[in-house]
Homo-oligomer: A and B are copies of this chain.
Amino acid sequence: MKLSILGCYSATPRTLNNTTSQVLEINNHMFLIDCGEGTQVQLRKHKVKFNRIKHIFISHLHGDHFFGLVGLISTFRLLTRETDLHVYGPKGIKEIVTLQLKLADSWTNYNLYFHELSSSKSELVFEDDKVEVYTIPLNHRIYTNGYLFKEKEGDRKLDVYAAEEANINVAYYRKLVQGFDVENEDGALIDHKKVTTPGPKPLSYAFCSDTMYKEDIVPIIKDTDVLYHESTFLDQHENLATKTKHSTAKQAAQIAKQANVGTLILGHYSTRYDNIQVFKKEAKEIFKNVQLAKDGKTFEF
């Protein structure tokens, strides 16, 4: 699982600060999460192949999280994309994009599907044989969702030597790694656990931005391996956080602790702070394993 931060600052893009956008590589998927203005250029800088992006998840309709979407969709068209594109986001996102395409007289030449969200409960929005994506209802000034990306339990690992010893026909190997017991050549039932070991632990990633402190999300993101939680402010500005429905670094750490996540990544910093190291220091007082998002930084898990 690999997370590339294209932008992690709040409010407005600046010369050195990009607004929110991330690429999550998980089980061969390349999910784009949020799409602030300039995301298409950030994708080019990071040499992300546009055609690998088939799913875009938008948290909410504030500009610093989606003003780059229509440009990306248009650029895909200009590059004669043929691959389907799925966009997940709040109700209204389809109208915004289609109005602009209509007025530009430039429909996409690929299939563009909108999955508009309006539920206040966590729901499964994407699933294939390897990955599930759920919404994480957040509490911000407008309707907002985080997203939880979960790998499914993968195949077990076959101990070929043990399988041969147990006299199992190779035709049954596939069944074994899928967790089924099988009969061997002598008609004896072989416990799959005797000839296989558990596969790699499925990983999970929760993206939570923008939101004020919201304990309701703890059960949804419980035991998640990696949690990105916004920390627009420091504790000294908790009043501003409450007023604007954002979180402090301390609050993000409290959520991480209660949810027992593996790693907490902080981001969505207000540009009022010159030194983002202070966010890490503040969060570490509550929760040990804290990392700082930075534009251009890649995390591998």
Contact = CB atoms under 8 A, between A and B. Distances in A.
A178 interface: no
A296 interface: no
Interface string A212-242: 0000000000000000000000000000000
B41 A15 contact: yes
A11 interface: yes
B41 A11 contact: no
A70 B106 CA distance: 19
User: What's the number of copies of this chain in the assembled complex?
Assistant: 2
Contacts of A75: 11-12
A40 interface: yes
A37 B100 contact: no
A154 interface: no
A92 interface: yes
A171 interface: no
Contacts of A40: 12-13, 37
Nearest to A76: B12
A175 B120 CA distance: 71
A271 B61 CA distance: 32
B41 A78 contact: no
A14 B12 CA distance: 19
B44 A41 contact: no
A260 interface: no
A60 B157 CA distance: 58
Interface residues of A, number: 34
Nearest to A142: B105
Contact of A100 (B13, B44, B61, B106): B61
A96 interface: yes
Interface string A99-133: 11001111000000000000000000000000000
Given A14-B44, A15-B44, A68 B37 contact: yes
Contacts of A15: 41, 44-45
30 contacts: A12-B40, A12-B71, A12-B75, A13-B38, A13-B40, A13-B41, A13-B71, A14-B41, A15-B41, A37-B37, A37-B38, A37-B40, A37-B68, A38-B38, A38-B41, A61-B100, A61-B103, A61-B104, A62-B106, A63-B71, A63-B104, A63-B106, A67-B74, A90-B103, A92-B99, A96-B100, A96-B103, A103-B142, A105-B141, A105-B142
Interface of A: 11-15, 37-38, 40-41, 44-45, 61-63, 67-68, 70-71, 74-75, 78-79, 90, 92, 95-96, 99-100, 103-106, 141-142
Given A12-B71, A105-B141, 19 more contacts: A11-B75, A12-B74, A15-B44, A37-B38, A37-B40, A38-B38, A38-B41, A61-B100, A61-B104, A62-B104, A63-B71, A63-B100, A63-B104, A92-B103, A95-B99, A96-B100, A96-B103, A99-B99, A105-B142
